Amino acid sequence: MALAAIADKHVGLNLSNPCLDPGVRMSMQGYRRRLGRPATQAKGLTKALLQGFINQAIGLDIDSNGRKRATLVMWREAWRELTCFLTLARFADLQHVTRRDISVDHLRHVIVIQFWSRKNDQLHVGHWAIMHGTSTRYCPVRLTSRYLAMLPKDPNAFMLPDMRPNKSHIKVTYAACRRQQKWIMQRIGTDPSPYGLHSARVGGTTYLKGARISESDIGSLGGLAPGSSQPDRYSKSDVEKWKQAASALRI
């Protein structure tokens, strides 16, 4: 948490992050090995909790005809949570996505997201994910389109930007999103301590397993299988996998 706070402060001031120094990183790794406790996996989001989260964040806007009452920060958090759930993305994956990496296909009623790098991308070829539209109030195509309309039009603008004045060209930090996640969960009467920014990914994976989707297919969809999907190269098998996943993850 100390490193995250230091990094957050320096990034906010547009200064270099001292925590990236090799000596600091090696020292912290040593401290973690000696004093750290075993890592515990974040509790997965359920569909009901995700719906409650979105309702609390942007519920006043969802059913309105273009009227905006929720803040852009709340829209960012709702979009982040929904997108990580539907695409099995890590926060770090989505943190680097820019406006140019989002394609809205109104004809097919889908959103295509290009991840140029993901944690386990051993071939460095990237990965793409599809969010299928639904007829519910949580339709990712509709919500993504509305969110895009609020963001800067610069194609290099981050989809998860820092919302402070004159900082929209800087991507938001983990600590900032976690603070907002805790606040929203507390507002809906949920203890945020078992959850984290990976909870949406964990929850989405759990639902896919419950739908008897194979481990290899889940790995492919989540960018875990090296070379499973390549940029701008839509294989029929991958498209069918996303259709099957969309059915299991529909909220």
DSSP-assigned letter for residue 124 = -
Q: Is residue 114 part of a domain?
A: yes
CB atoms within 10 A of CB 17: 14
Select from 139, 143, 114, 148 the least CA-distant residue to 229.
114
Give the per-residue pLDDT at 19. 64
- What's the pLDDT at 112? 92
Q: Is residue 137 part of a domain?
A: yes
Q: What is the CA radius of gyration of the chain?
A: 18
237 and 123 in a common domain: yes
Q: Which amino acid, residue 112?
A: V
pLDDT at site 249: 85
Which one, of 132, 95, 92, 91, lies nearest residue 240 by Cα? 132
Query: According to the model, what pLDDT value does residue 169 have?
Result: 76
Q: Do 26 and 116 fall into the same domain?
A: no
Looking at the domain assignment, is residue 223 inside a domain? Answer: yes
Contacts of 242 (CB under 8 A, 6+ apart): 129, 130, 132, 221
Give me the pLDDT at residue 53, please. 97
Domain of residue 11, residue span: 2-35
Is pTM beyond 0.85 here?
Answer: no
Task: Supply 126's token pair.
Answer: 């990237």
Please report the pLDDT score of residue 219 as a whole number.
77
Residue 14 forms part of a structural domain: yes
Cβ contacts of 81 within 8 Å, gap of 6 or more: 45, 50, 53, 54, 181, 200
Total domains, the chain = 2
Q: Do both 119 and 217 map to the same domain?
A: yes
- At residue 98, the pLDDT reads 94
> Which pLDDT does position 201 carry in this prediction?
92
The per-residue pLDDT for 10 is: 64
What was the pLDDT predicted at 226? 46
Please answer whether residues 217 and 239 qualify as being in contact, where contact means their C-beta atoms are separated by less than 8 angstroms. no
With the C-alpha atoms ordered 118, 122, 128, 130, is the resulting torsion angle positive or negative?
negative
pLDDT by residue for the chain (251 residues), tens only, comes to: 566 667 666 666 677 777 677 776 777 676 666 666 666 778 999 999 999 999 999 998 987 766 678 899 999 999 999 999 999 999 998 999 999 999 999 888 999 999 887 666 656 667 888 899 999 999 999 999 999 999 989 999 999 998 876 666 789 999 999 999 999 999 999 999 999 999 999 999 999 988 888 887 887 777 654 444 433 333 445 667 777 788 888 88
